[in-house]
A = this chain, B = another copy of it.
């Protein structure tokens, strides 16, 4: 075993032991520790800022882009937001212990299905140092031990933040940060399914692809957010324009931004010039199918590749479709099963769309931007999942738990 292997496996053993302790803490005990973590983050702000300055200067030397440096940057305001976020998690209801289902069998067995922590969770993430606190405290609130593996750019900041969290008196090893940032540490973490119950990668497609290939335990993730809005023949056109513009331009670099607009052929000639005018006023580049170009001659011709692209930019692909069925087929073929919207005044068409689109979130007359744990009322979000097992869509505290069957009897033997 290499040193990296030995260290990370040792952290795994410790995380497992810590998880068994955390499972016994009451909600009040966990909340008290969370508030202490917030205090520790505030008190250690000078150390965290000093560590962050090291990361920033290394980043500048490495020639990181301005956007990358901004993602890395911590200041007093961002540290206060981090601490306030931890306090807010303390105020949320604790899903652990909830009785999901309960029934009695004819032989007198009483069976309960109970929410329990998942156990140990590995978080692999890239440059944003605030993920260290955000992810760790959501896992802590739900009684899970975490092993964090952040990117090399933020290593000093991450170490300082993790030290603040650990100081706050969480059980030993409830929150651990891997001190290595090389590739081997990801491979070791993803391989040790005896110590880790789940991995959540947060970052680009390349990182997620690597983790999925290596992981022996379940991975909760999404690759892309290729979100669609379908303006149906029966769409209220003003609403369709407003939802398209909001979905595309409210924030462009996020997974729940709109990437492709599908328009029913019956309304295309009237609707497309209206929506194009508003989109162009917001500097959105339009890429259209052939029939779209006939109505919007200034649009750029879309290629096959456009339909499968998450632009994360002020670009929108547009396609005219003959029917709701064609819209659904396009979405199921080219989409990423994240969030897709129909705009229509026809309730039956809406129901058909909601039932036929194979995505985590299917919306009727709503902006794609509402695919979000906060907007769903979860109070916090650990991520958005396009997986179908266990967690799908915005994931709050509940999705950080599993369940256990507790059965009570009076000596039943099987005959």
Q: Which residues of A contact B (CB under 8 A)?
A: 20, 23-24, 103, 105, 109, 111, 118-119, 193, 197-198, 212-213, 216, 218, 220, 236, 239, 242-243, 246, 250, 332, 350, 354-356, 358-367, 369-370, 375-377, 387-394, 402-414
Contacts and interface: CB of A to CB of B under 8 A. Distances in A.
28 contacts: A20-B332, A23-B356, A23-B358, A105-B375, A109-B366, A109-B375, A111-B377, A119-B358, A197-B388, A218-B387, A218-B389, A242-B411, A246-B414, A250-B413, A350-B408, A359-B404, A361-B404, A361-B405, A364-B406, A366-B412, A369-B414, A370-B407, A388-B402, A389-B389, A390-B390, A390-B391, A392-B402, A392-B405
Contacts of A403: 392
A121 to B, nearest CB: 10
A366 B409 contact: yes
Given A103-B377, A119-B388, A356-B20, A367 B414 contact: yes
Given A377-B105, A393-B405, A412 B198 contact: no
Contacts of A362: 404-407
A363 B394 CA distance: 34
Contacts of A365: 408-412
A220 B193 CA distance: 14
Contacts of A20: 332, 356, 358
A280 to B, nearest CB: 18
A412 B360 contact: no
Contacts of A363: 407-409
B366 A408 contact: yes
A198 B388 contact: yes
Contact of A242 (B212, B406, B413): B413
Contacts of A250: 413-414
A414 B403 CA distance: 34
Given A355-B23, A375-B414, A118 B405 contact: no
Given A362-B406, A409-B363, A212 B216 contact: yes
A87 to B, nearest CB: 22
A218 to B, nearest CB: 5
Nearest to A110: B364
Contacts of A359: 404
Contacts of A377: 103, 105, 111
Nearest to A409: B366
Contacts of A413: 242-243, 246, 250, 367, 369
Given A105-B375, A109-B366, A218-B387, 8 more contacts: A20-B332, A105-B376, A212-B216, A218-B389, A243-B411, A362-B406, A370-B409, A392-B404
